[in-house]
Structure 1
Amino acid sequence: MSLIRRISHISANIRQFSSALYITGDKASSNFVILLPHIDFEERMENKAELEENIKLRQKHISLDKYWKHWGFYKHLLEKMEILNATKTVINEHISELIKDAEKNKEEIEKLQLHAKQMKLHYKNLKEFSYPVEEVAALNALSIPNILDKRTPDTEKEIIYNCLEKPSEKARSHFEIATSSNLLYYLNPTFLVLQNDAAFFEHSLINYFYDSLLNYSYVPTVNSSFARSIIVEGCCTDYLNPKEVFTVFENDTKYSTAKLHFVGNSSLYSFMAYFAKFSIQPNYFPIKFFTSGKQYHPLEENNTERTLFNLNQYSTVDVFSITKNNEADTEAVFQDLIKIIKTLYDSLGFHYQLAYLPANRLRNYETLRLSIQMFSSHLQDYVEVGNVSLCGDYLSKRLLVTYNEEKVRKYPNIIYGSVINVQKVLGCVLEYNDLSRK
């Protein structure tokens, strides 16, 4: 297959929309390029068997052989362009020498000038054709998920901690209890207001977690409730999918990368928006931030049932830690956070458990996910009321969070989690208290 035909074949498979995270040179004039993510595809492919097992456990439909073929073709084009550029430079240098005696070397100079012109045109055409190949190769590489922590279970969640006994009886629905007790005003999953004792519960619970995290040397932050498409895509969310994120600003072009998204100040996006393309002084590590506020996202599933477990907005307390790219430092912060979570939840006096979720329930950026789960006595099942994710350097590489150590650029590890979701905790507590009154 000819070079141009191969390029055209790959170009035909490109998605209609443009990536907000990886913008090729041909689109740079119409898009403001904030950063170019670090791609470590070749490094990841050094242990192909492990990567294939990772993809299999996560149940992702990714063909590494196909991705590697596209990547190899892109690298081949780069090599050809380098050769053309180097050849053109040599020709120009030779012309500069010959031009010293222009009359004598007139014929040879004209031949070389024609050759240089052809080389320049060939380079220009090849570069234009290379952009779609580059986009496919880069986006393929960026779609590959994070490595898996050795503690991540293969198929079933692994419970690592249990507090108190699980209620055995079935309770009324928390929504029925809340409505009859005038604890909330509900219009739809987007518009819900807690009132009376429920509002006091929300205020008290957030203050309790807020004050406790302050005592554990976490620093409070005030984040933006909005994020640009580049941040959303950098956090492994499809910014064009209305089922994944709210979009509040659309410009004239349907597939524009300059969109604004409503995510809430207590979210991963709001933290990453602050640290994107940020170089951190090594002596600041470990960084331990937290915030309290709102998270906004589309419904997890089409569910007409009135419930606090499936809303468009939640009140949460989120933590965000950054450590050096050192396993021991990251693990120390993670284990310390688990101890804090146990202390805070144990004191609430309700049954809950901590569990590591299996690989197929992790987001692309997660290497390990600790799930904080309370029991719904009505559903007779566990509900995730909080979580903590180990992200390694995956997000740092995508959004260029860096630090320099011994004149070497490095990418720090990130730990992120919503340590409590107030509405979901309230739902479980209402059902638990309903059993206590029987």
Structure 2
Amino acid sequence: MVHLPTFIARHLLTTAKYYTFRRSISALYITGDKAKKNYAPLQPYMDFEGTLNSLASLEDSIKARGLQINLNEIKAKYEKFNSLQSQIKQAEAERDSVSNKLREITKAGAATKDEIEKLKQSGVELRNHLKTLKTQSYPIEEDFVHSFLSLPNTLHPECPQNNFEKLLYRSPTARCEQQQPTHLAKKDLIRFIKNDRYYLLGTPAEFDVYSMQALTNYFVEKGGFMQMSNPDFVRLVLLEASATPLEHYHLVQEEDKPSEINRAYLTGGATFEGFLGAFARLVVYPTSLPLPCVAAGRSYEIVPNTSGLPDSLFTATQSNAVQTFVATRTAEEAYEQMEKILNLAVDFYKELRIHFRITYADASTLTNAECLRANIEMYSPAEQRYICVGRVSNYSDYVSKRIMFCIRGKNNYAFPHLVGGPVLYTTRLIALLIENGLKLEDCKLLGDREVRDEEGAAGLNEFKDLFK
């Protein structure tokens, strides 16, 4: 059996260009001068006063993440922006006052021609002044808001700092300390050409599919998760909303060139970003939360190779994956759901009877949207280091505010706290199981071979019946 993970995706990746580029405008926030030519699908919620008046936790987050952000500079931009907005409101109020006065005296018929002309002239001057103020404000507004949107999430109290990882769980199975050959040495099982082109042969090809299905079914049946099917492509606005670095995914070169802010990226359906389109601008009742979802599919995340070792399945751009996504009402519930996901993942990985651990990642490795991340890691005897085979992140209400995902209250709206992550990357898991000497054909996740053969034959016959 041959598994071709790049059957359609390889063609998509050849038309997708991996590079970063400087954009003149943001897809997430569009100022008035650019709104005539560009459609704004989202208007993020931004609490300027609340954020900039409590800077202590934000300063700690920026420092722990190693970001070069000057909060005093952003605050100065806000004061300048706020000053101009006050001038605009004042000019609008004065213009409305003149219009109302002109309407009243004209209706009463008590004004002279000179008085009417004087009021009209005053209205014209105020209109021109207002136009000038707005023209001046657009670049100042854009500069400030884009700087504001670049601010990171505040860190969760459990998030470790100063290049430190916090161990949460270690499986009782001892890890293989003896140096082992790399998984790429198994030429009869893996044919690796480059990060976006590889082939799994025989049992690994079956394991790639069945392990993904097994974990998805476990989350649905045991955890009460709702299975979803997400698109493989995500527009730029959702990447900006989730503060995802653009270099994490491939930019798709489309035949009909979209506008600069409407570009598509190839992410895969089993990604956090893949869920956002379904929840953007959605309003839910508190009684519908928590809302646990899971999706099985592809992940095309570009993994930077910082180890100095040759590329392998550990750095492959493409993988089957299982992605979780949970919306909750409060920060406490989000933390509980994160623990629930991790507990379900532990049950799954225990079945493999191989050493693994779960750690909280250091703040410096988090994206701007994450406030806490737990990594599920297995040891590679070939590379003598731990490899991340899955992760779960806490985003608090940072992303939901930016995509306007709201909870309807009696008198106001609140924003859900989001938790989720890819709890399984099948390609990395297969590579680690091979290196640790596990026989994939003996793995329980594959189930009974006769049953699998019957299911496969039934599926093939069903497919053939479509063409009769």
Is TM > 0.5 for Structure 1 vs Structure 2?
A: yes
- The reply on whether 1:424 has 2:428 as its aligned counterpart is yes
- Whole-angstrom CA distance in 1 between matches of 2:217 and 2:105: 78
Q: Secondary structure at the match of 2:53?
A: helix
Residue of 197, 205, 213 corresponding to 1:199: 205
The Cα offsets for residues 308-338 of structure 1, whole Å up to 9 and x where unpaired, read as 11111111111110111x1332222222222
More moved, 45-54 vs 137-146: 45-54
Q: Say whether 1:284 aligns with 2:272.
A: no
Query: Which stretch of structure 1 is more off in the superposition, 376-385 or 295-304?
Result: 295-304
State the 4+ residue runs in structure 1 displaced beyond 3 angstroms.
100-104, 249-255, 301-304
**Aligned position for 2:183:** 174
The match for 1:162 among 166, 170, 193 is 170
Name which of 309, 316, 325 aligns with 1:320. 325
Distance 2:174 2:303 in 1: 31
- Distance, in Å, in 2 between the alignment partners of 1:238 and 1:80 is 36
2:33 alignment partner in structure 1: 26
The separation in 1 between residues aligned to 2:109 and 2:409, in whole angstroms, is: 54
Aligned to 1:8: none
Aligned to 1:122: 129
SS in 2 for 1:118: helix
Mapping for residues 202-351 of structure 1, pairs under 5 Å: 202-215=208-221, 216-239=223-246, 243-250=247-254, 256-301=260-305, 305-324=310-329, 326-351=330-355
C-alpha distance in 2 between matches for 1:158 and 1:406: 40
Moved more, 415-424 or 293-302: 293-302
* 2:42 counterpart residue number: 35
Give the Å deviation of 1:247.
1.5
Write out per-residue CA displacement over residues 262-309 of structure 1, whole angstroms, 9 at most, x where no aligned residue. 111111111011111111232211111101111113342487824111
Could you tell me the TM-score, scaled by structure 2's length? 0.84
Structure 2 distance, partners of 1:273, 1:97, is 50
Is 1:85 matched up with 2:92?
Answer: yes
1:153 matched residue in structure 2: 160
Alignment of 1:401-416 (within 5 A): 401-416=405-420
1:273, 1:196 → 2: CA distance? 36
Where do residues 50-65 of structure 1 align in structure 2 (5 Å cutoff)?
50-65=57-72
**Pairing partner for 1:363 from 367, 381, 393:** 367
Q: How far 1:193 sits from its partner (Å)?
A: 1.8
Post-superposition CA distance 1:375-431 (Å, at most 9, x none): 010111111110000110000011111111113111101001110111111111111
The alpha-carbon distance between structure 1 residues 427 and 104, as it changes in their structure 2 partners (threshold 3 A), is: closer
Q: Which amino acid aligns with 2:181?
A: R
Query: Residues 98 and 105 of structure 1 are in contact (CA less than 8 Å); yes or no, is this contact kept in structure 2?
Result: no
CA contact (8 A) 1:18 1:255 kept: no
C-alpha distance in structure 2 between counterparts of 1:213 and 1:353, whole Å: 20
Q: For residues 332-375 of structure 1, what are the alpha-carbon distances to aligned partners after superposition, in whole Å with 9 as ceiling and x for unaligned?
A: 22222221111111121010110001110111111110000100
Aligned to 1:48: 55
Amino acid at match of 1:197: T
| Contact 2:338-2:393 within 8 A present in 1 as well | no
Residue 230 of structure 1: CA displacement?
Answer: 0.7
Q: 1: CA distance between counterparts of 2:110 and 2:280?
A: 58
Shift of 1:97: 3.0
Partner of 2:73: 66
Matched, 1:375 2:383: no
Tell me the C-alpha RMSD between the 2 structures: 2.0
Q: Distance in 1 between matches of 2:335 and 2:303?
A: 33
TM-fit CA distance, 1:255: 7.2
* Matched ranges for 1:101-116 at <5 A: 105-116=112-123
Task: Specify whether residues 298 and 115 from structure 1 end up closer, same or farther in structure 2 by C-alpha distance, changes over 3 A only.
Answer: same
The alpha carbon displacement at 1:161 in A equals 0.8
* Deviation by residue 1:85-126 (Cα, 9 ceiling, x = unmatched): 101111122222332465852212212211110000010111
Matches of 2:193 and 2:137, distance apart in 1:
52
Which residue, out of 172, 184, 194, partners 1:188?
194
Structure 1, unaligned runs of 5 or more: 1-14
TM-score by length of 1: 0.90
- Quote the residue 2:4 is aligned against: none
Query: How far is the alpha carbon of 1:47 from its aligned partner?
Result: 2.1
Alignment-mate amino acid for residue 174 of structure 2? E
Secondary structure of the structure 1 residue equivalent to 2:213: helix
**8 Å CA contact 2:305, 2:311 repeated in 1:** no
Q: Aligned AA for 1:188? A: K
Q: Distance in 2 between matches of 1:210 and 1:238?
A: 27
- The share of aligned pairs that are identical, in percent, is 26
Q: What secondary structure sits across from 2:347 in the alignment?
A: helix
Query: Structure 2 counterpart of 1:167, which letter?
Result: C
User: For 1:36 and 1:425, how far apart are their aligned partners in 2?
Assistant: 40
- Give the letter for the 1:346 counterpart: K
Structure 2: runs of 5 or more not aligned: 1-21, 440-468
The equivalent residue for 2:12 is none
Give yes or no for contact 1:172–1:434 (8 Å, CA) kept in 2: no
* Residue equivalent to 1:3: none
After TM superposition, the structure 1 stretch with the greater mean CA deviation from structure 2, 365-374 or 404-413, is: 404-413
Give 1:261 shift. 1.3
Taking the aligned partners of 2:81 and 2:117, their CA distance within structure 1 comes to 34
Aligned length: 414
